Amino acid sequence: MLSLYVPALIAAFLITVVEMTEVVALVFALSADHASVRHGAAGAVSGTAVVAVLAFAFGAVLLAVPRTDLLWAATVVLLAFAIFLFRSTLRAYRRRRSGSAAPTRTHSALQFASGFSVGAVEAIETVIVLLALAAAGYGLSALVGALAAGAGLAIAAAVVHERIRRIKVPWLKLGATSLLFAFTVFWAGEALGYPWPGTDLALVPLFLAALLAVRGVIGLLTRAPVPVETKG
């Protein structure tokens, strides 16, 4: 009869919650200038699923993939989307200043790619712990814990989704842009081998610094005359 080892189950649950919560937060950030979270969420689910399948079939091979290479790839993709989103955030503040309500352009392919890289990076960090638990003989407990955490986060994200989407657009985009820049710096530091104080907790001051920096730059740029768009 199969039995569960509670400490291993709890460890798998907690590591999955920690890593995948970052994915959920970034999916919301990636969707700040889009009508829905569909493209970012699809990318994140795809990235997570690919890593999960590879881990299930070729766990040892997956662990042999240099994490630094993956971090650099994710950093570049996330930086590209952060720049796009910054431009969208700037337009949102300028529209609010001018009283315009023109829609923004979206970048679905880049949104999907960013979501994919985010899901893959965080899934690999989760898989490393899960494979270690499985190697110790607690594979079933690790699987149950990870699945329970994933299901719980999915339900929580669905519950809070509409509330987050109701936040005023400029504020939502400002927070999302700052979050993307924070993760870009964080992952670039990890790729360079920098030991962040407090590990993932370093994201808090990075986010606050990015928030101040982005808001400051937007404040400077919105003081200039708003460009008049002409139809050609």
- Burial label for 209, CB within 10 Å (0-12, 13-18, 19+), is middle
Stretch 50-61: mean pLDDT, rounded? 75
Residue 70, in any domain of the structure: yes
Contact (Cβ atoms closer than 8 angstroms) between residue 85 and residue 33: yes
Q: What is the 3-state secondary structure (H, E, C) of 67-111?
A: HHHHHHHHHHHHHHHHHHHHHHHHHHHHHHHHCCCCCCCCCHHHH
Q: Percentages helix, strand, coil for the chain, rounded to the nearest 5?
A: 80, 0, 20
Residue 230, in any domain of the structure: no
Residue 226, in any domain of the structure: no
Distance CA 124, CA 127 (A): 5
pLDDT tens-place string over residues 142-178: 888 988 988 888 888 888 776 766 666 677 778 878 8
Domain range for 149 is: 6-221
Residue 228, in any domain of the structure: no
Residue 151, in any domain of the structure: yes
Distance CA 212, CA 174 (A): 10
What does pTM read for this prediction?
A: 0.62
pLDDT class of 135 with cuts at 50, 70, 90: low
- Burial label for 120, CB within 10 Å (0-12, 13-18, 19+), is buried
Residue 26, in any domain of the structure: yes
Distance CA 93, CA 118 (A): 27
Whether the per-residue pLDDT at 67 is higher than 60: the answer is: yes
Tokens in use for 175?
């927070």
pLDDT tens-place string over residues 24-36: 887 887 776 676 7
Residue 111, in any domain of the structure: yes
Which residues are within 8 A (CB) of 230 and not within 5 positions of it... i.e. 6 or more apart? none
Name, of 80-89, 100-109, 179-188, the range with top average pLDDT.
179-188
Residue 231, in any domain of the structure: no
Alpha-carbon torsion 54, 55, 58, 59, what sign? positive
Terminal Cα distance for the chain, rounded: 73
Whether the per-residue pLDDT at 224 is higher than 70: the answer is: no
Stretch 41-47: mean pLDDT, rounded? 88
Stretch 94-111: mean pLDDT, rounded? 65
Query: How many folded domains does the chain comprise?
Result: 1
